[in-house]
Amino acid sequence: MFCFQCQETAKGTGCTIKGVCGKEAETSKWQDLLLSVVRGVGTIQHTLGENASKEVADFLVDALFSTITNANFDDQSILNKVDTGIALKKQLLETALSKNITLPNYQEVHWGGEKSDYSEEGEREGVLRNENADLRSLKELTVLGLKGIAAYYDHATRLGETNEEIIAFMCKALATITAPDADKETLLGIVLETGKYGVDVMALLDKANTEAYGTPELTKVNIGVGKKPGILISGHDLKDIEDLLIQTEGTGIDVYTHGEMLPAHYYPQLKKYKHLVGNYGNAWWKQKEEFASFNGPIVFTTNCIVPPAKNANYAERVFTTNSTGFPGWKHIATGEDGKKDFSEVIALAKTCKAPQEIETGEIVGGFAHAQVFALADQVVEAVKSGAIRKFVVMSGCDGRMKSRNYYEEFAKALPKDVVILTSGCAKYRYNKLNLGDINGIPRVLDAGQCNDSYSWAVVAFKLKEIFGANDINDLPIFFNIAWYEQKAVIVLLALLHLGVKNIHIGPTLPAFVSEGVLQVLVDNFGLAGNSTVEEDIQKYIL
Ligand code: SF4
Ligand code: SF3
């Protein structure tokens, strides 16, 4: 196997024996196979020059999403997707034949899809099939960005939003990176264009979420527990928590959010449910301990899954949905009406003890762009008077590495007149520190999930307008982003597309960015890694 898509990749270069995330070499091979089928389907669809059918769009989105770090560890689930993709590819090949359309002569297009050849094709189609490091890097940057787009697109479609242009771009990008002779310039172009569609998909999801559940508003979320049995729901899919809240109403079961589901509390149409009682635990990587003490069932709507220890007391209590999967865990299918039936989860919850309390207090959030605009006068006044010196965007992901203590220490070391703008699970490093407020404006403003990083771009453009700045890079905003998986990749590409310069990413630079590509990103966008807390504060804040 060879996988280098996340920040925790082995030795900072690539996992080759087993994933640090727990992914087995066999699973990695099936994911490589699935991605080659995705490239084949995308290339043929693009060459046909017509809009993709719903089946093709659903396949591309689901397949890309399922290969995101910590989303799906279930070989059978991945192989079922391979089968679906091959069947669709055959249909597209017939369409091309009937229309006399010549298809490019790529391995991914012409591979026959025989089951007996799955294993060898998976081996052939790994990341290292591209020998040139820079070309490989640009192709991977594109496909990792597409994975992020797929995840956000999936959530938006579950709320009824679709966008043919985004799917058409996915096919175009897949065709571009599949071409064995694609040159550096073409690939760099497609990487940057991926950022544009990153902005579009985040805007689409923002619209889907706010139209369905209202505008996020300032909310205090309880982090303690009640006395009733609970269901813990993790991941990013708001439609799933809505279904669960409706089905658990009046059953005597409480619902708790976990990890990236925390922002569900900020939406009026979700927080109205009285049995949505709080948030349990922290970011994804602490789940082994937290799921054990939660006592009740856990539902994964998206990544991040950590494979449980062999003797874990919660393995029988975990359910997956959507593109996620784990061998031996029950998977809840989506019904014809787009809804889920959580009755099995609810029945199990009734037999469980209430969660064990692991902390008490509350956290404050709900500062997506509309809520920030509502405070605009206060914010502008505070900037003009000097009460706010600077904003630091610290959005992104959290992870296991010790080096991530940087973000907690950085947050603590910031002068009291600096405001942190956050989103994604990175916030768990500092959202319980009680960093206080500036004239009533909290010093940690949480916009929501990682996709809500979009809000900080919207806010930056609004501030540019208010302050009459020529460029958003002239504003007192420093971008110090923590990354882990591929949704952070699309957030980064989206910010580059919007013209944000001098973004710092950490705790380490991506292994999939080659030296040559890094140089391009440094020269054109001022991209940089983070340093020590003292040095970064001195250089970029004071
Ligand atoms: Fe390694 Fe990350 Fe890939 Fe898992 S997702 S195999 S940890 S690079
Ligand atoms: Fe977290 Fe996985 Fe990325 Fe949505 S849940 S930010 S790491």
Cα separation of 26 and 37, whole Å?
Answer: 17
Whose alpha carbon is nearest atom 6 of ligand 1?
A: 19
Residue with token string 């017509």: 50
β-strand partners of 231: 255
- CA–CA distances in Å: residue 54 to residues 96, 126, 205, 482, 490: 18, 28, 18, 35, 23
Which tokens belong to 242? 């809505």
Q: Quick one: pLDDT at residue 338? A: 86
260 ligand 2 Cβ < 6 A: yes
Cα separation of 429 and 283, whole Å?
Answer: 9
Contact (CB, 8 A) for 412 and 441 = no
Angle between helices 184-213 and 453-467 (to 10 degrees): 90
Q: Where are the alpha helices (DSSP H) in 441-540?
A: 453-467, 486-497, 515-525, 533-540
Q: What is the three-class DSSP state of 505?
A: strand
What one-character-per-residue DSSP string does 117-143 give?
A: GHHHHHHHTSGGGS-SHHHHHHHHHHH
Q: In what helix (H) or strand (E) does residue 246 lie, and over which residues does it extend?
A: helix 238-248
pTM as predicted: 0.98
Cα separation of 130 and 110, whole Å?
Answer: 18
Cα separation of 20 and 173, whole Å?
Answer: 29
Distance 6 CA to ligand 1 centre (A): 6
User: HSE of 505 in the Cβ direction (CA atoms, 13 Å)?
Assistant: 26
305 ligand 1 Cβ < 6 A: no
**Tens-level pLDDT at each residue, the chain (542 residues):** 999 999 999 999 999 999 999 999 999 999 999 999 999 999 999 999 999 999 999 999 999 999 999 999 999 999 999 999 999 999 999 999 999 999 999 999 999 999 999 999 999 999 999 999 999 999 999 999 999 999 999 999 999 999 999 999 999 999 999 999 999 999 999 999 999 999 999 999 999 999 999 999 999 999 999 999 999 999 999 999 999 999 999 999 999 999 999 999 999 999 999 999 999 999 999 999 999 999 999 999 999 999 999 999 999 999 999 999 999 999 999 998 888 999 999 999 999 999 999 999 999 999 999 999 999 899 999 999 999 999 999 999 999 999 999 999 999 999 999 999 999 999 999 999 999 999 999 999 999 999 999 999 999 999 999 999 999 999 999 999 999 999 999 999 999 999 999 999 999 999 999 999 999 999 999 999 999 999 999 999 99
* Class of residue 330 by CB neighbours under 10 A (exposed 0-12, middle 13-18, buried 19+): middle
Which tokens belong to 424? 């994604």
485 ligand 2 Cβ < 6 A: yes
The one-character DSSP state at 433 is S
Contact (CB, 8 A) for 512 and 133 = no
Q: Would the CA dihedral through 315, 320, 325, 328 be positive or negative?
A: positive
Distance 513 CA to ligand 2 centre (A): 20
> CA torsion, points 7, 11, 13, 18, in degrees to nearest 10?
-80
Distance 23 CA to ligand 1 centre (A): 7
| Length, in residues, of the chain | 542
Whose alpha carbon is nearest atom 4 of ligand 2?
A: 450
For residue 507, whether the previous peptide bond is cis, meaning omega lies within 30 degrees of 0, is yes
The one-character DSSP state at 180 is T
Which tokens belong to 80? 């079922």
Cα separation of 73 and 248, whole Å?
Answer: 29
The one-character DSSP state at 262 is G
Which tokens belong to 90? 């055959």
Name every residue whose Cβ is closer than 8 Å to that of residue 541 and which is 6 or more positions away in sequence: 389, 390, 392, 414, 415, 418, 478
Nearest ligand to the C-alpha of residue 126?
Answer: 1
303 ligand 2 Cβ < 6 A: yes
β-bridge pairing 254-258 and 276-279 = parallel
What one-character-per-residue DSSP string does 48-68 give?
A: HTSPPPHHHHHHHHHHHHHTS
Whose alpha carbon is nearest atom 3 of ligand 2?
A: 397
5 ligand 1 Cβ < 6 A: yes
